[in-house]
Chain A
Amino acid sequence: MTTLTAKLRDWQLALPLALAFAALFLAPLLLLLGVTFFNDDRMTQPGLAQWAKFFGDPFNYKVIADTLLLGVKTVAATLIVGYPLALVFVDLSPRWQRVLLFVIVMPLLLSVVVRTFAWIVVLGHEGLVNTLLLRLGVITEPLKLLQTELGLVISLTQIEMPLMLLPLISVMSRLEPNLRDAAAALGASRWRTLFTVILPLSMPGLVAGCLLVFASSTTAFISQTVIGGVRLIYLPLVIWQQSLVVFNWPLAAVASMALLVSILTVIAALSWLGRRASGAVHG
């Protein structure tokens, strides 16, 4: 009985957040789902016409696939750059760790719009990269970096990097330092220590970072449209066009549900993989 009362008391503490979550997230989500079941943009005729329209068009499958692929590429790029940086971070003195942490967090202190427009200056036709390469004589014509998927992934890698690094650093800083020495004493090479000890133990941070970067990059409407341009079509652009330009809210709602379900599916798969990898180490 006492345990039950204690549990109830815990729930009471969580109640304000639960209510806010229900009112500000669940209710709008249900409304969004409800809107999808209208045939017309004036929302007078109930039906499944917009579902049929969206999923009956092969172009939208390409858009979904491109959106998810963008997330995967960004996750891969942030991981390749971010993981070694996290390894360096844990070996630094506390003073240099504070400096590096400030550098890592700094992009979060800037508005996403500012960061995105800064990338136009860097990647543009007459931007920093092209000017530098031209002056060095590496290229004779400016490279097309802006409005390409490569340029978009490069910029998203920088924009989303803190989301990968912060959970990684948090987990890796808590790893027992003696484990590496123990592995070395037992004859493991540095690479073997990395792949069989550090990597599996840092898996919770790695998975958390991947989830955050994936969810954030697939929905990064401003970066996608400003840096990628409108020839690279991702689901957020379709949602924006249908809701704010064409005012076809039922179709926009269907596209939103498609985005939500696609992202949740990948996130569930990543979580499952992460749990399996952690289980392989601990269990």
Chain B
Amino acid sequence: MFTRRRMLAGATALGGAALLPGIAHAKGSVTAAIYPGTWEDAYRAIVMPALKKTYDVDLELQPLFAVDEVAKAKAARGAPPFDCFVLDPGPRITAIEAGLFEKFDGKKLSNASKVPSAFIDEWGICVGAQVVGIAYNPKKLPRPKGWKDLLTDPWVSRLGITGFQTTFGTVSLIEIAKQFGGSETNIDPALVELKKVLSKIAAVGQPAAMPGLFQQGQCDVMYTNTQTVATLKGKGVDIDFVKPDTGAVAFYTTLHIAKGSDAIENAYKYFDTVVSTPVQEALTKAPYNFLPANKDVPIPPDLPMKSLDEMSTYVLHDWAKINPLRAGWIEKFNKEMAK
């Protein structure tokens, strides 16, 4: 028998259930993987509120390195733990080969025209570029000129290096190899030269530990990207970025929709927000110092590039060639560097 109390309880439950999602997620949400550190800080501070304001969509960020994103998505087998990837060129190719992306349609973005056409393809959109070079402590060391200097005194005894686990580590070791006769597909000369000075090198660490080691003075010179330098500088660390004499390395960072995502429309809104003019402009400013992907955004003078056209003057790498060799390089690095 329906009593008034039961009717009220039922109505409250139904009404509450209908109301709750409205309170929690105005027009839904999207979960995006993001690099820990500067990227996470910047996207949390700038992109998250912008997406909420423009599209009323909640952004949830999952801090993950590129390789971790690919590993998690592969393990999830069609039920991705996030809706959007942020990737460097190497892991991007791995993910495409593993079928981890939904096809991407750039026409769905209202800001597509503001992004160079080469930045959009069938798999995703480029939202910025990273520049890799040498970072050093100007209070403790003279300014190094290039990659070769790293293996000579006074820099070598204060040098911190990482292996091939990350994009910045891989490209830096390739560039060192090139100085000694190596190439994009032959890193052996770098390992030979590193081995000669191995006892002098201050730190051989995990990529994620390097900023901490630099901050603590364990090493005073290392290869890294401009964003890490900006972050450390923002924390008061004495650090400067050097474009090596043979050229700094640049690579694109891209966003992709995870295969099997149930928030595809919100993923497009997220991408659209990321490349929008106000967001890109805010991202270029200190302490984030991102290189913009939006043509309407002027590049501030303290960034390593004056315009995105300069990308062609930077050292670029063919990750389709590098990827198949990387596993072997990691094993070689382990063996050559092991104590």
Chain A residues proximal to chain B, CB less than 8 Å: 59, 62, 117, 120-121, 124-127, 146-147, 149, 225-226, 229-233, 238, 241, 243-248
A146 to B203 CA separation, bound complex (whole angstroms): 9
| Shortest CB distance A39–B (Å) | 14
State the CA gap A124–B204 with chains docked (Å): 13
Least CB distance from A38 to B in Å reads: 14
CA distance A247 to B100 in the complex (A): 14
Contact call B216/A230, Cβ cutoff below 8 A: no
The interface bits of chain B over 310-325 (1 if a CB of A lies within 8 angstroms of the residue's CB, else 0) are 0000000000000000
Residues in A with CB closer than 8 Å to B204 are: 147, 229-231
User: Which chain B residue shows the least CB distance to A144?
Assistant: B202
Chain B residues lying within 8 Å of A127, measured Cβ to Cβ, are: 216
With A244-B71, A247-B94 known to touch, is A59 a contact of B334 (CB < 8 Å)?
yes
Q: Is the CB of B212 within 8 A of A120?
A: yes
Measured CB to CB, the residues of B under 8 A from A are 67-68, 70-71, 74, 94, 162-165, 202-206, 209, 212-213, 216-219, 326-327, 330, 334-335, 337-339
Contact status A231-B337, CB under 8 Å: yes
Q: How far is the CA of A52 from the CA of B330 in the complex (A)?
A: 19
Whether B203 lies near A229 (C-beta < 8 A) is yes
Please state if A120 and B213 are interface contacts (CB–CB under 8 Å): yes
Q: Are A125 and B217 in contact (CB under 8 A)?
A: yes
Kindly state the separation between the CA atoms of A117 and B218 in the bound complex, as whole angstroms: 13
With A147-B218, A246-B327 known, 4 other A-B pairs at CB within 8 A are A117-B212, A232-B339, A246-B330, A247-B71
Query: What's the minimum C-beta distance from A233 to chain B, rounded to whole angstroms?
Result: 5
Query: Chain A residues near B70 (CB, 8 Å)?
Result: 247
Closest approach, in angstroms, between the C-beta of B322 and any C-beta of chain A?
Answer: 13
The CA-CA distance from A48 to B339 in the complex, in Å, is 30
Q: How far is the CB of B101 from chain A (nearest CB, A)?
A: 16
Taking A120-B218, A245-B67 as contacts, is the C-beta distance between A225 and B206 under 8 angstroms? yes
Give which listed residue, A120, A230, A243, A244, contacts B163 with CB less than 8 A. Answer: A230
If A124-B218, A231-B337, A232-B339 touch, does A243 touch B71 (CB 8 Å cutoff)? yes
Contact A245 B339 (CB under 8 A): no
CB neighbours of A120 from chain B (8 A): 209, 212-213, 216, 218
Known: A230-B162, A230-B204, A231-B204. A125 touches B216 (CB 8 A): yes
Question: In the complex the two chains form, is A230's CB within 8 Å of B206's CB?
Answer: yes
Q: Is A147 within 8 A of B203, CB to CB?
A: yes
Q: Which residues of A contact B163 (CB under 8 A)?
A: 230
5 closest A-B pairs by CB: A126-B217, A246-B327, A124-B216, A244-B71, A225-B206
A149: B residues at CB distance < 8 A: 339
Q: How far is the CA of A121 from the CA of B217 in the complex (A)?
A: 10
Q: Give the contacting residue for A244; candidates B68, B335, B339; CB below 8 A.
A: B68
B176 to chain A: closest CB distance in Å? 17
Q: List 9 A-B contacts (CB under 8 A).
A: A120-B212, A125-B218, A147-B204, A226-B205, A229-B203, A230-B163, A230-B334, A241-B334, A247-B70
Q: How far is the CA of A93 from the CA of B202 in the complex (A)?
A: 48
Q: Which of B74, B164, B326, B338 contacts A231 (CB 8 A)?
A: B338
User: Would A244 and B67 be within 8 Å (CB), given that A59-B335, A231-B339 are in contact?
Assistant: yes
Which residue from B94, B164, B326, B338 sits with its C-beta under 8 Å from A233? B338
Question: In the complex, A62→B335 CA distance in Å?
Answer: 10
Which A residue sits closest to B205, measured CB to CB?
A: A229
A229 to B204, CA, bound (A): 6
Nearest CB in chain A to that of B330: its residue: A241
Q: Closest Cβ of chain B: how far from A87's Cβ, in Å?
A: 36
A161 to B164, CA, bound (A): 34
With contacts A244-B67, A245-B67, A247-B70 known, is A230 near B212, CB below 8 A? no
Query: In the docked arrangement, what's the CA distance between A13 and B74, Å?
Result: 38
